[in-house]
Amino acid sequence: MREDLERWERKYRELSTDTDLEPDPLLLKHQHLLNGAGRACDIACGVGQNGLYLAEHGYDSFLIDGSFVALTMAGRVATARGLRIFRVVADLDYFRLPVSAFDVIVVMRYLNRSISSDICAALRPGGVLFFETFNVNFLSEKPGFPRDYLLAPGEARSLFATLECLASNDGPTLQDSLSYLVGRRRGT
Ligand SMILES: C[S@@+](CC[C@H](N)C(=O)[O-])C[C@H]1O[C@@H](n2cnc3c(N)ncnc32)[C@H](O)[C@@H]1O
């Protein structure tokens, strides 16, 4: 297994209890876009708080992450909450997302520029992407953080330029250390 995925695996293994986090505020703020019909996918889901939230809202919810430990935890939390989820352990550098498969996709705090067009293609026409991750302002909080994992101003919009932008915080003057984009795949 690759070193970065091993590091995540170790981090999740160190959690002493199952972690049942609140869903991301971006999803809560835009819950009017969630009609609960169809399939949702939480990409690089970690312990799966957003995928679980989407399952709770009626979606067939798929959770993908490279960490077996995190997904095992998400499975236990789902069972405890009476939710059904579908879990996939995969390295997203190699995994091929299915095309036109999801009504909602969530990507939170995970930046993999090489799969941004595959993420757009994995949405069904009319499907909505919620994308949020750290931008270069984060360097003032954590100066040593690798720049490659941080968005430049305007980058979220350019990575997902084929989507209709419904909402964004993406520069040119960045507001805080998280950039986001909510976008809809065109067509019906
Ligand atoms: C910062 S965490 C974010 C987790 C979750 N999205 C959240 O917002 O809490 C990044 C996640 O990406 C996963 N990850 C990193 N590289 C990956 C890869 N190549 N394939 C699959 N998952 C990966 C890690 O296992 C980790 O769970």
How many residues does the structure list for the chain?
188
Strands 123-134 and 102-108: parallel
44 lines ligand 1 (CB under 6 A): yes
pLDDT at position 90 is: 97
pLDDT at position 82 is: 97
Task: Specify whether the CB–CB gap between 126 and 101 falls below 8 A.
Answer: no
pLDDT at position 1 is: 61
pLDDT at position 173 is: 72
CA-wise closest residue to 47 among 2, 98, 13, 82: 13
Q: Ligand 1 centre and the CA of 139: distance in Å?
A: 20
pTM exceeds 0.85, yes or no: yes
45 lines ligand 1 (CB under 6 A): yes
In the CATH scheme, what is the code of domain 3-11+21-184? 3.40.50.150
Tell me which residue has its CA closest to atom 10 in ligand 1: 110
pLDDT mean by block of 10 residues, the chain; 188 residues? 89 84 95 96 97 98 97 96 97 97 98 98 98 94 94 96 96 82 94
Q: Ligand 1 centre and the CA of 72: distance in Å?
A: 14
Q: Ligand 1 centre and the CA of 65: distance in Å?
A: 6
163 lines ligand 1 (CB under 6 A): no
Mutate to test the pocket of ligand 1, among 65, 109, 113, 115 (most ligand atoms within 8 A of CB): 65
66 lines ligand 1 (CB under 6 A): yes
Q: Ligand 1 centre and the CA of 40: distance in Å?
A: 17
Atom of ligand 1 nearest to the CA of 106: 6
pLDDT at position 21 is: 84
pLDDT at position 174 is: 66
Cα dihedral 127, 114, 13, 69 sign: positive
Q: Ligand 1 centre and the CA of 188: distance in Å?
A: 31
Peptide bond into 125 cis (omega under 30): no
Domain range list for the chain: 3-11+21-184
